[in-house]
């Protein structure tokens, strides 16, 4: 900017920091005579310049406010990074339906995808690599003009529009063979402003495959669980994710394929819920699709709180918290809780199912297998490892590749060793 001439100093500053020179301020130098209407033209010119300047400054202010930023306010830089892959899995053996999954590696992709864990105050950068063939994505879309790609849309935490994972922002999804990074911020609770924070049980999923709402991506298996913890929250020994969906499915499976636990050597995973008596077992429960469900776990109950636990000795508060063993679940809903495996009921095969009767009758049921103190599986009652009734396999049953432990959590250990079983990023 050129220096102001002698005697001509700025006297009016706009609130956004734009300096405007005014003609009606006193000046020590004599003004030359002007042709008629020059003053009016200068005023119009000044107003035009001010309008352009204000518009430019408003854009700059919007940029600074975070509207166009890659990271949401409060996230200075990512605390951790995760590489996530979207791949095609073997088709459903009974329906030949296309199956897709997220994985920390292409080889461990599954449905549900790996469970993500964050602490309030953390920023997580997730780079999604789209390895789903273009032809597969084309076969799933319902509109031939819809773009091909996969995305990552998350519930509960904070993100910018560039990390929304929708076609409404073209830079927010990933074309076949490409990669992009999404940023999630687990905003902490602020008692001064009343902000509730982001601690809770959430989920993530595709929002692009097939159409603008990602319905075909969900139907194919592109979803997973997310837990955001608050400082001081108890840590579980094991975390399991249960997606209750259409066609009476749990994690897109029903009947015998919901529970594939080996009675001798059970391996924790999406189709094998197993724990040792006394372990703290955490559940993340999500509703997808179009149907209503109820989640019921035999032999165990939990507090209807954020964590499923009651903390503290305030009698009035403790007495006001309901204790439940059945919770209604609608599409898009999510909740979670922690129970002590076998608390007062001992080891055994404890049924977990939808309590809408015709849903459970058609195979929407599995079991939480609780091992004894020695890590041994209790004897079955003659109905086989699945311990459920219903068809041997229904539409929505999963592929064998999707039964790996990574589909529920990362780094799962064999149940008998009593090792911690934590989600990604713990």
pLDDT at 396 over 50: no
User: Please, are residues 40 and 23 in contact by the beta-carbon 8 Å criterion?
Assistant: no
Q: Is the peptide bond before 92 cis (omega within 30 degrees of 0)?
A: no
Q: Which of 152, 141, 327, 131 is closest to 224 using CA atoms?
A: 152
Tell me the three state secondary structure of residue 38.
helix
Higher pLDDT, 207 or 39: 207
Provide the pLDDT for residue 95: 82
Provide the pLDDT for residue 313: 87
Q: Which of 29-33, 317-321, 324-328 has the lowest mean pLDDT?
A: 29-33
pLDDT at 21 over 70: no
Count of alpha carbons within 13 Å of 8, Cβ hemisphere only?
A: 13
Higher pLDDT, 73 or 417: 73
User: Please, are residues 391 and 363 in contact by the beta-carbon 8 Å criterion?
Assistant: yes
Would you list the DSSP string of 75-144? -SS-SEEEEEEEEEEPPPTTT---EEEEESSGGG-BSSEEEEEEETT-EEEEEEEE-S-HHHHHHH-SST
The percent of residues above 70 in pLDDT, for the chain, comes to: 73
Higher pLDDT, 264 or 117: 117
pLDDT in tens, 362-391: 999 999 999 999 999 988 765 444 443 333
Cα of first residue to Cα of last residue in the chain, in angstroms, is 53
Q: What's phi and psi for 170, nearest 5 deg?
A: -55, -25
User: How far apart are alpha carbons 74 and 185 in whole angstroms?
Assistant: 8
Structure-derived torsion over alpha carbons of residues 190, 191, 194, 195, reported in degrees to the nearest 10: 20
Higher pLDDT, 242 or 315: 242
pLDDT at 207 over 80: yes
Mean pLDDT, residues 266-292 taken together: 97
Count of CB atoms situated within 10 Å of the CB of 190: 11
User: How far apart are alpha carbons 328 and 127 in whole angstroms?
Assistant: 34
- Residue 176 tokens, joined: 């076949």
pLDDT in tens, 60-117: 333 333 344 588 999 999 999 999 999 999 998 878 899 999 999 999 999 999 999 9
pLDDT tier at 425 (50, 70, 90 boundaries)? low
User: How far apart are alpha carbons 266 and 373 in whole angstroms?
Assistant: 15
pLDDT at 49 over 60: no
> Cα angle at 411 between 408 and 414, to 5 degrees?
90
Whole-number Cα distances in Å, 137 to 86, 110, 174, 362, 397: 12, 17, 12, 31, 21
Q: Which of 326, 244, 325 is closest to 287 using CA atoms?
A: 244
Provide the pLDDT for residue 350: 97
Higher pLDDT, 36 or 253: 253
| pTM (predicted TM-score) | 0.77
Provide the pLDDT for residue 34: 47
pLDDT at 359 over 50: yes
Provide the pLDDT for residue 30: 46
User: How far apart are alpha carbons 237 and 281 in whole angstroms?
Assistant: 6
pLDDT at 51 over 50: no
pLDDT at 335 over 70: yes
- Residue 349 tokens, joined: 């095969």
Mean pLDDT, residues 192-221 taken together: 96
Provide the pLDDT for residue 424: 67
Mean pLDDT, residues 122-136 taken together: 98
pLDDT at 332 over 50: yes
Mean pLDDT, residues 209-236 taken together: 96
User: Please, are residues 239 and 380 in contact by the beta-carbon 8 Å criterion?
Assistant: no
- Residue 294 tokens, joined: 């109820």
User: How far apart are alpha carbons 114 and 405 in whole angstroms?
Assistant: 9
Provide the pLDDT for residue 347: 96
Q: Scanning the structure block, which residue is given the tokens 């992009």?
A: 180
> Cα angle at 116 between 107 and 149, to 5 degrees?
60
Residues in the chain, overall count:
426
pLDDT at 174 over 90: yes
Higher pLDDT, 190 or 398: 190
Count of CB atoms situated within 10 Å of the CB of 61: 12
pLDDT tier at 222 (50, 70, 90 boundaries)? very high
- The mean pLDDT value of the chain amounts to 81
User: How far apart are alpha carbons 277 and 263 in whole angstroms?
Assistant: 16
User: How far apart are alpha carbons 376 and 347 in whole angstroms?
Assistant: 9
Provide the pLDDT for residue 381: 64
Provide the pLDDT for residue 423: 66
Residues paired with residue 357 on neighbouring β-strands, in sequence order: none
Dihedral sign, CA of 61, 63, 68, 72?
negative
Higher pLDDT, 332 or 48: 332
Provide the pLDDT for residue 287: 98
* Torsion region of 215: left, alpha or beta (phi above 0 gives left; psi -120 to 50 gives alpha): alpha
pLDDT at 25 over 60: no
Higher pLDDT, 148 or 3: 148
Tell me the three state secondary structure of residue 332.
coil
- DSSP letter at 173 equals S
């Amino acid at each position: 900017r050129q220096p102001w001439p002698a005697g001509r100093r700025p006297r009016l500053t706009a609130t956004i920091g734009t300096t405007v020179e005014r003609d009606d301020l006193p000046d020590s130098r004599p003004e030359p005579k002007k042709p008629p209407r020059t003053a009016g033209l200068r005023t119009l010119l000044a107003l035009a310049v001010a309008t352009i300047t204000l518009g430019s400054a408003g854009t700059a202010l919007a940029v600074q406010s975070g509207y166009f930023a890659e990271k949401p306010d409060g996230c200075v830089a990512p605390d951790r990074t995760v590489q996530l892959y979207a791949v095609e899995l073997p088709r459903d053996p009974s329906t030949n339906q296309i199956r897709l999954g997220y994985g920390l590696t292409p080889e461990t992709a599954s449905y549900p995808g790996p469970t993500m864990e964050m602490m309030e105050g953390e920023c997580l950068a997730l780079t999604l690599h789209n390895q789903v063939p273009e032809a597969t994505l084309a076969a799933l879309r319902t509109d031939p003009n819809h773009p091909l790609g996969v995305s990552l849309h998350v519930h509960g935490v904070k993100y910018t529009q560039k990390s929304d994972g929708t076609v409404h922002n073209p830079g927010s999804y990933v074309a076949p063979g490409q990669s992009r990074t999404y940023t999630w911020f687990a905003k902490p609770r602020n008692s001064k402003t009343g902000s509730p924070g982001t601690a809770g049980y959430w989920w993530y999923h595709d929002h692009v495959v097939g159409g603008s709402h990602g319905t075909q991506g969900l139907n194919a298996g592109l979803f997973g669980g997310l837990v955001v913890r608050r400082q001081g929250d108890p840590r579980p020994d094991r975390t399991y994710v249960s997606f209750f969906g259409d066609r009476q499915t749990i994690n897109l499976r029903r009947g015998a394929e919901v529970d594939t636990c080996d009675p001798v050597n059970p391996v924790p995973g999406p189709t094998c819920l197993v724990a040792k008596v006394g372990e703290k077992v955490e559940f993340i429960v999500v509703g997808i699709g179009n149907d209503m469900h109820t989640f019921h776990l035999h032999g165990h109950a939990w507090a209807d709180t954020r964590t499923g636990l009651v903390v503290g000795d305030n009698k009035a508060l403790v007495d006001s918290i309901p204790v439940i063993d059945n919770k209604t679940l609608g599409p898009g809903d999510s909740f979670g809780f922690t129970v002590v495996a076998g608390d007062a009921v001992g080891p055994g095969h404890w049924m977990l199912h939808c309590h809408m009767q015709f849903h459970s009758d058609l195979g929407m049921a599995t079991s939480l297998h609780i091992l004894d103190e020695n890590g041994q599986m209790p004897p079955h009652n003659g109905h086989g490892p699945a311990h459920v009734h219903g068809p041997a396999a229904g539409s929505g049953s999963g592929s064998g590749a999707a039964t790996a432990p990574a589909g529920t959590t990362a780094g799962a250990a064999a149940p008998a060793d009593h090792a911690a079983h934590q989600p990604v990023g713990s």
